[in-house]
Amino acid sequence: MSDCIFCRIIAGQIPSTRVFEDEHTLAFMDLGQVNPGHVLIAVKKHAANLFELDDVQAAAVARASTRVARAIRDAFKPEGLSVYQANGKAAGQTVFHYHVHLLPRHEADGMELTWPVKNPPREILEGYAERIRKKFA
């Protein structure tokens, strides 16, 4: 038996409250429910994080997230919806099986993500961009 909690949920070995599934993804209610309607989209085949996804899984997650987000919007009529996805402990990931959070949002709902902007000059941006672009060459 897998020691990955989301693999066990996907296999039906431990209970979950499911809302949607397709060949590559399973959507189920997050136990934490930051706001009512908080859903997780997980890939069915284990991948620890975004870096381990193949293109088929990546596309399937985007499609499922979009469809489930619309269903949450229609069901709960939130004022907004945040898509949150963490990779690695430093990024806040706590379950190391790739998943996307769909979080219905309301004004002053207490969810906070601090965002310390640096606003570097254009030359610095160019240097950062060049480091990334080189990886596609």
| Nearest CA among 13, 72, 3 for reference residue 41 | 72
Q: What is the bridge-based pairing of β-strands 80-84 and 39-43?
A: unpaired
Cβ-proximal residue to ligand 5GP, closest one: 32
- Report helix, strand or coil for 84: strand
- Complex with ligand 5GP: residue 75 or 111, whichever CB lies closer: 111
CA atoms 86, 96, 136, 131: torsion sign: positive
Residue 86 in the binding site for ligand 5GP (CB under 6 A): yes
Stretch that binds Zn ion, among 20-28, 33-41, 46-54, 83-91 (CB under 5 A): 46-54
* Cβ 124 to ligand 5GP shortest distance, Å: 30
For residue 59, which of 84, 25, 36 has the smallest C-alpha distance?
A: 25
- Closest distance between ligand 5GP and the C-beta of residue 92, in Å? 6
Examine residue 92 and tell whether it contacts ligand 5GP (CB under 6 A): yes
Which residues have a catalytic role annotated?
99
